[in-house]
Amino acid sequence: MPYAISYNFEMPARVLIIDAPSYQDVSGPISRALQELPGDLRAKKVLVKPNILGAHAPEKGVDTHPAIVREVVKQLQARGAEVWVGDNSGIGGYGANERSAKASGILEASGGCYRNIALNGKEINFKSRFSDKLVVSREVLEADLIVSLPRFKTHSLTVLTGAVKNTFGYAVGGEKSRLHLRAANFADFGEAVVDVFQIRPPDLTILDGIIAMEGYGPNNGTLRKVGKILVSSDAVALDRVMAEMVGAPAEKIPFLKVAGARKLGETDLKRIEIEGKLERIPGFKLPLSPVMAPIGQMFYRFLYPFIRVRPQVNGGLCTACGDCKKACPAGAITIDKTARIDLDKCIACYCCNEACTYQAIQIKSRVRNFLGFGQKMISSRNKKA
């Protein structure tokens, strides 16, 4: 690959699993986490990049919890860093960033360091099969250090959304939508996620797993207390450990496969030094996807058109705000009294599900019984492990 950045395999990858029972006081866990960022931070420009998926209140468990952001900012500033906080929320509108940061509590938690990083995009040459140009936030390119703060969640398309996937938010507004359209299936999208990650892997990732999301994340899943913060300077190794914790088949998850093949981080669990206790979370529910299919991916591909997991609008919750329409890369949504989805146009990217702050778009299979069966098998397999 033409990129200069490659993980240094001379140094063993290290992942910290830190106990963090609640958001009430995270100063100890964050202090331990930031020890992984050695050196003098005075006058260093540090971009703190939470996962602000949309305008969700903290108790919804969708965005990074503001308590984590507040403490990271405070401790970085105490070490003399110039801190910027920002994320490109959702998938469509450039104006959504500030609204989402405000609703999530992160605008306030940033203590005046918040930046709307969508306002300062720069088009770069992008080494990807899906596009040769990409507009990314200038802060991503200009920061001396990036501290990424994803949330521990499942994802209906990529199975997990953690350290690597959080960097997809480097891309500004509609750029994410454009990539979704060009990399429309689960394998291609996994590769596109790594293409973006490779622009600038974060220097440190602190994963908010105090309250995680299982099932059909990243927006519509079920909250689950895990009580952990995961930390690493190797984002790929961190995601590999997260996959182990939830019982996901790491060797089949496209973004982990691609990142490992490109040597962007460690995917071999035996070569990852773990500080803390690595334990399987019993019965953690994963989304049904081609990756997770218990019947094998080839067969699943054949069946996919029939059992495909689809977005569905709950008319009772829909306010006809139009955010899903703006987010849809396939132009499959129209707004009448409620949102309506043309399933013939839908590419099952779930951007609408991410964009809807009213949880009015749910992810459903055409054959619900099959989906229920699959979900049960996946979680019971975890229980046995």
Residue 27 CA to residue 43 CA, distance in Å, equals 23
**Contacts to ligand SF4 from residues 354-373, by CB under 6 A:** 355-356, 358, 360-361
Nearer to ligand SF4, 22 or 334 (CB): 334
Letter for the amino acid at 201?
P
Q: Any idea what DSSP says for residue 212?
A: E
Closest CB 308 distance from ligand SF4, rounded Å: 10
Q: What is the largest CA-CA distance in the chain?
A: 59
Q: For the CB of residue 284, give the shortest distance to ligand SF4 in the complex, in Å.
A: 24
Q: Which phi and psi (to 5°) does residue 226 adopt?
A: -115, -35
Instruction: Determine the interface stretch with ligand SF4 among 96-104, 235-243, 300-308, 332-340 (rule: CB under 6 A).
Output: 332-340
CA 222-358-369 angle, 5° bins: 50
- Cβ distance to ligand SF4 smaller for residue 93 or 265: 93
Q: Interface with ligand SF4 includes 73 (CB under 6 A)?
A: no
Residue ranges in 194-223 that form contacts with ligand SF4 under rule CB under 6 A = none
Cβ closest to ligand SF4, residue 114 vs residue 189:
189
Closest CB to ligand SF4 among 321 and 377?
321
Stretch that binds ligand SF4, among 43-51, 228-236, 353-361, 368-376 (CB under 6 A): 353-361
- Of 248, 327, 371, 378, the one binding ligand SF4 by CB under 6 A: 327
With 0-12 / 13-18 / 19 or more C-beta atoms within 10 angstroms meaning exposed / middle / buried, residue 277 is exposed
Q: How far is the CB of 219 from ligand SF4 (least distance, A)?
A: 10
H helix intervals, the chain: 27-34, 66-78, 96-104, 106-109, 138-142, 163-166, 174-182, 186-197, 235-246, 254-261, 297-307, 323-327, 351-355, 368-384
Minimum distance of ligand SF4 from residue 327's CB (angstroms) = 6
Q: Taking the complex as a whole, how short is the minimal distance between the CB of residue 55 and ligand SF4, in angstroms?
A: 11
Q: What is the bridge-based pairing of β-strands 121-125 and 133-137?
A: antiparallel
CB of 120 to ligand SF4, least distance (A): 26
- Residues 6 or more apart in contact with residue 344 via CB below 8 angstroms: none
When the beta carbons of 220 and 233 are compared against ligand SF4, the nearer one is 220
Alpha helices in 172-276 (DSSP H): 174-182, 186-197, 235-246, 254-261
From the CB of 354, what's the least distance to ligand SF4, in Å?
8
Identify which of residues 207 and 330 has a Cβ nearer to ligand SF4 in the complex. 330
Q: Considering only the stretches 30-38, 73-81, 100-108, 333-341, report the one whose residues sit in contact with ligand SF4 under the rule CB under 6 A.
A: 333-341
The interface with ligand SF4 within residues 295-324 (CB under 6 A) comprises 311, 313, 318-324
236 contributes a contact to ligand SF4 by CB under 6 A? no
Torsion on CA atoms 109, 112, 118, 124, rounded to nearest 10: -110
- Retrieve residue 66's tokens: 């503001």
Counting contacts by CB under 6 A, is residue 149 touching ligand SF4? Answer: no
DSSP secondary structure letters along 95-113: THHHHHHHHHTHHHHTTT-
Q: Which residues contact 39 (CB under 8 A, 6 or more apart)?
A: none
**Complex with ligand SF4: residue 180 or 228, whichever CB lies closer:** 180
Closer Cβ to ligand SF4, 327 or 378, answer by number: 327
Cβ proximity to ligand SF4, 243 vs 324, nearer residue = 324
CA angle 255, 187, 285 (to 5 degrees): 70
Q: Which of 347, 366, 377, 381 binds ligand SF4 (CB under 6 A)?
A: 347
The CA radius of gyration of the chain, in Å to the nearest whole number, is 19
Under rule CB under 6 A, how many of the chain's residues touch ligand SF4?
30
Residue 96 interacts with ligand SF4 (CB under 6 A): yes or no: no
Give the integer Cα–Cα distance in Å for 180 and 350: 10
Q: What's the token pair of residue 139? A: 């802060």
Give me the residues that bind ligand SF4 (CB under 6 A), please.
311, 313, 318-324, 327-328, 330, 332-333, 335, 338-339, 341, 346-352, 355-356, 358, 360-361
